Amino acid sequence: MIVDFHVHLFAAGHLPRRWFDALARYLASKRPATSSREELAAKLEGRILDPDATYLFADLDAAKIDVVVSHPLDYGVALGEPRSSPEEIVAHNAALQKRYAGRYISFTGIDPRRPGAAEFVRSTIRRFDLNGLNLYPMAGFDPASPESLAVCRVAMEENVPVMFHSGGAVFPMRARYGNPALLGDVQAELPDLKFIIGHAGFPYHWTDAVDVARRNPNAYLELSQWYKLASRNYGKFVEILAEIKHEMGTERILWGSDHLSGPAVGGDKSALTAWLDCIRRLPQASAEFSQEDVDMILGANAKRLLDLDETGHA
């Protein structure tokens, strides 16, 4: 079973205007302007919309991926409210989980600074049978703050894991909260919390991620974004992954992509197959890795963590 532990799916109105403004600012700085920054920002959303997951499943089928885990994002407190509320965004993902039962697994997601966040987490997990909680500290909160620990406690009570996005924060998010070292405080407070360090601190904080996770059987590393290194310098990627294995084994490493799907992304541009191949080639690339490592990273660990059956039902 191949499980992609990290995707996002967007319908119109799920992301705040300011997110696209910031992306347009970055893109305009990289290439000659064919349109104004404002026009570019207005166009960007349409490129990544995949409300029915049609594009996503075409990409998954092409790469022969069995199951994806989707992480609803709440950027509203950080960047201004988008048209859709957190409830609507989570309900949208939950509807896809129901429609694509066994293939599309959804977490709930909220900024814990919102009033009622803990109750939101509990009620959405119960009502929609969701499989975890996604938190995005780079929106501007310490993952060990009282508000954040409160929603983590609810996840523990509901017996689901928490995904903390970590590592590089896309401008204009707040980079310091992406440092996985902050999660050391979370696990000190909540040693029984099952959690995943999303992106494993990529690109500059992976040693902090390992430092937190290596002695905690409830802490997992998730590898999305690492394709950027693996495709550029495969030897260095293998070397880092071997170092991670040396410190904590491979039983708590999860493969993920952070894949985006939509009319202008994915399809021919999908890196899913090439990224899977980077993991499948590990035993040839280094004597440190076995086929068993590959199988665990690509799906067996996720299956165990989320208690999936063979068809992907949680």
**Interface residues toward Zn ion, by CB under 5 A:** 258
Report, in Å, the least distance between residue 7 CB and Zn ion. Answer: 8
259 SS3 class: strand
Q: Which is nearer to Zn ion, 163 or 248 (CB)?
A: 163
Token duo for residue 116: 């009622």
CA-closest candidate to residue 221, choices 241, 204, 239: 241
Least gap, CB of 200 to Zn ion (angstroms)? 12
Least distance in angstroms from the C-beta of 171 to Zn ion: 15
In residues, how long is the chain? 314
Amino acid 139 reads: A
Of the two residues 177 and 289, which places its CB atom closer to Zn ion in the complex?
Answer: 177
Instruction: For residue 5, give the H/E element and its range.
Output: strand 3-7
Q: Nearest-CB residue to Zn ion? A: 258
Q: How far is the CB of 72 from Zn ion (least distance, A)?
A: 10
Closest separation between CB of residue 106 and Zn ion, Å? 13
For 270, other C-beta atoms within 10 Å of its C-beta total 21
Nearer to Zn ion, 165 or 245 (CB): 165
Side-chain half-sphere exposure of 108, counting CA atoms within 13 A: 30
148 or 294: whose CB is closer to Zn ion?
A: 148
DSSP string over 144-164: TSHHHHHHHHHHHHTT--EEE
- Give the separation between CA 141 and CA 144, rounded to whole angstroms: 8
Cα–Cα dist 154/256, whole Å? 25
Closer of 45 and 258 to Zn ion (Cβ): 258
Q: How far apart are CA 105 and CA 4, in angstroms?
A: 10
We find the least distance from the C-beta atom of residue 199 to Zn ion, in angstroms, to be 7
In the bound complex, what is the minimum distance in angstroms from residue 136's beta carbon to Zn ion?
Answer: 8
Residue closer to Zn ion (CB basis): 120 or 136: 136
CB nearer to Zn ion: give 180 or 293: 180
Question: What minimum distance in Å lies between the beta carbon of 243 and Zn ion?
Answer: 24
- Which is nearer to Zn ion, 138 or 294 (by Cβ)? 138
Per DSSP, 50 falls in state: -
Helix, coil or strand: residue 223? coil
List the alpha helices (DSSP H) in the chain.
Answer: 17-30, 37-47, 54-63, 76-79, 86-99, 117-128, 146-157, 183-189, 206-213, 227-232, 234-248, 272-280, 282-285, 291-295, 301-306
Please, what is the minimum distance in Å from the beta carbon of residue 15 to Zn ion?
A: 12
Distance CA 192, CA 195 (A): 9
Which C-beta is closer to Zn ion: that of 258 or that of 293?
A: 258
